[in-house]
Amino acid sequence: MTIASNVDEVAWDLEPLLPVAGHRGVDQLLDEADALATRVEEWRGRLAGLDAPELAEVLGMVGEIMDRIGRATSYAGLRFTVSTDDAAVGALMQRTEERSTAINSRLIFVELELSGVDDERIEALVADDRLAFVAHHLRSLVRYRPHLLSEGEEVVLSEKSLTGASAWSRLYDEQHTAIEVTIDDEAMPLALALAHLESTDGDRRAAVAHAVTAGLEPGLRTRAYIFNTLLADKSTDDRLRSYPSWVSSRNLSNEASDESVAALIDAVVRRYDIAQRWYRLKAQVLGVERLKDWDRLAPLDEDTATFDWADATEMVIDAYGSFSGRLADVVREFLDQPWIDAPLRPGKRGEPSARTRSRRITRTCCSIGPRSAATC
């Protein structure tokens, strides 16, 4: 494995996600998914009565559809994360999401029909090895029964998502990525400016915090409106689906009960004093009477170290390796393949955004490619 020594050399190659390069590859994947969806639709109204081999055939095709849609949307979405200011890339992502949403809407009947199968029948089906690849999914459908709507209602929610939450989320991405902060007469992306809050100089941390506040002020009302709109959209979904609380849908997805999560939250709230104690101790170490908000990330040691990309990646591999050799192998594969995009540049998203479709966020300052869809 050869690891680059310069972070500016660490750029990903997304083309392996596609059968042919560029836009044509995205269109080919979606064309194939569309054709497979037509074949799956031939089973409409009959899924609940299928035996294991027939159901495995149908769900195998659904899996192939999801693979093609996932590769197409990951390619377009990941390109957008590093080029939010590129109109052509934005147009590609919009077109890809429109087509993938239309295909997914045609397949809503699959989960609705299967969610109506009784528990005993589900268990009998998943006992067959040919359905092992979807056993967990079939069992999970049972949990969503009380929250599913009619097919027509589900299709409307799916189709409208593009001009609803998804559109607002993209607008937030574009607004947030454009934020610049001026420090020492130098304009820089917000993500880079926030890194300066880890300075060992208290006065500099304060100056950076004020500069960040000034940089965030333009467009603040617009971003707040986007946030509130997304909250209202989620509230409407929760109400229509009869979820008992705002967190219930997330708990269901995580396969956790509302009660267990509430107990966890209560336990954390009861011990807020631990964090308060830590901040009081940190204030003493820093020699200040009371910790300011810009001191929260202050290093406790004046002697800070700088690591080049090669040294940093070895440290990450060692950390994962101490926990799991398999995880360390996965990290090595990401580093060996062109699956990481590290440099900061204009138009690249710099921190977690409101968009969640096909992407998950890491706390590193690089974006991770084809194996997952994480971005900084």
- In this predicted structure, the answer to whether residue 278 has a pLDDT above a threshold of 70 is yes
Q: How far is CA 173 from the centre of its chain?
A: 13
Q: What is the pLDDT of residue 367?
A: 38
> What backbone torsions phi and psi does residue 340 show, to the nearest 5 degrees?
-125, 140
Q: Which of 169-178, 184-193, 305-314, 349-358 has the lowest mean pLDDT?
A: 349-358
What's the sign of the alpha-carbon dihedral 260, 265, 268, 270? negative
pLDDT at residue number 3: 53
Dist CA 226 CA 328 (whole Å)? 39
The residue type found at 116 is: G
Residue 253: how many CB atoms within 10 A of its CB?
11
pLDDT tier for residue 10 given thresholds of 50, 70 and 90:
confident
Mean pLDDT, residues 260-278: 96
The interaxial angle of helices 119-126 and 135-143, nearest 10 deg, is: 170
Instruction: Say if residues 54 and 114 touch (Cβ distance below 8 Å).
Output: no
Share of the chain above pLDDT 70, in %: 91
Lowest mean pLDDT among 166-170, 227-231, 314-318: 166-170
Q: Is the pLDDT of residue 99 over 80?
A: yes
Token couple for 362: 């890491």
**pLDDT score at 84:** 80
| Region 268-282 average pLDDT | 96
Residue 268 tokens read as 């954390």
Report pLDDT for 104: 95
DSSP state at residue 199: -
356 vs 162, residue with greater confidence: 162
What pLDDT does 5 receive?
58
CATH topology of domain 1-143+149-177+337-376: Butyryl-CoA Dehydrogenase, subunit A; domain 3 (1.20.140)
Residue-wise pLDDT tens digits, 172-219: 988 888 899 999 999 988 888 998 999 999 999 999 999 999 999 999
Poorest-confidence range of 143-147, 227-231, 292-296, 367-371? 367-371
As a whole number, mean pLDDT of residues 323-333 equals: 94
Return the minimum-mean-pLDDT range out of 57-71, 219-233, 337-351: 337-351
* Strand pairing class (340-341; 367-368): antiparallel
Task: Calculate the CA dihedral of residues 17, 18, 23, 26 and round it to 10 degrees.
Answer: -90
Q: Domain limits of the chain?
A: 1-143+149-177+337-376, 178-295
- pLDDT at position 355: 39
Is a pLDDT exceeding 70 seen at residue 353?
A: no
Select the more confidently predicted residue: 175 or 37.
Answer: 37
> What tokens were used for 56?
């495995």
Beta strands at 360-361 and 374-375: parallel, antiparallel or unpaired: parallel
Q: How far is CA 121 from the centre of its chain?
A: 34
